[in-house]
Amino acid sequence: MVMIKDVVDAIKDWFNFKTLMTPMLIKVIYILANVGFFIIFVIGTLNWLGSIWQWLNSSSNQDNNWYSFLISNAIMVLNIVFFLSGLFITRLLCELAIVGFGIHDTLVKIEKRK
């Protein structure tokens, strides 16, 4: 059963900035960033598959075709690197922000105990 005093204390904490909404917002941004990186990765992979398909179905085997094959594979490697580094950097930045808010939450708990 929720007590009226608890609700009033929660509202006071909200307006006194003791309860922060930014950690939840950071988690949402993290999820959206990962979804965005995944979509970009899928688009890059489909583009790479299309270029490989085009290279396999080309009628002439000139040197120019080999260059396009090598460039498309290099772009796919860069796509993988971009995807993995994007996930890592996003996680790192969000963790750094969450740590700061975790420190704030701990200080608020210590203050409430006094």
Q: What is the pLDDT along the chain (114 residues), one digit of tens a residue?
A: 568 888 888 788 778 777 777 888 999 999 999 999 999 999 999 999 988 888 777 766 555 577 778 888 999 999 999 999 999 999 999 999 889 888 888 888 888 787
pLDDT at 61: 57
pLDDT at 110: 86
pLDDT at 92: 95
pTM of the model: 0.72
Q: Quote the CA–CA distance of 101 and 24 in Å, as a whole number.
A: 10
pLDDT at 38: 97
pLDDT at 111: 83
Residue with tokens 């009033």: 8
pLDDT at 62: 59
Rounded to 10 deg, the angle between the 22-56 and 63-113 helix axes is 170
pLDDT at 83: 96
Report, in this order, helix, strand and coil percent for the chain, each rounded to 5. Answer: 85, 0, 15
State whether residue 59 is helix, strand or coil: coil
Residues ≥6 apart with Cβ < 8 Å to 98: 23, 26, 27
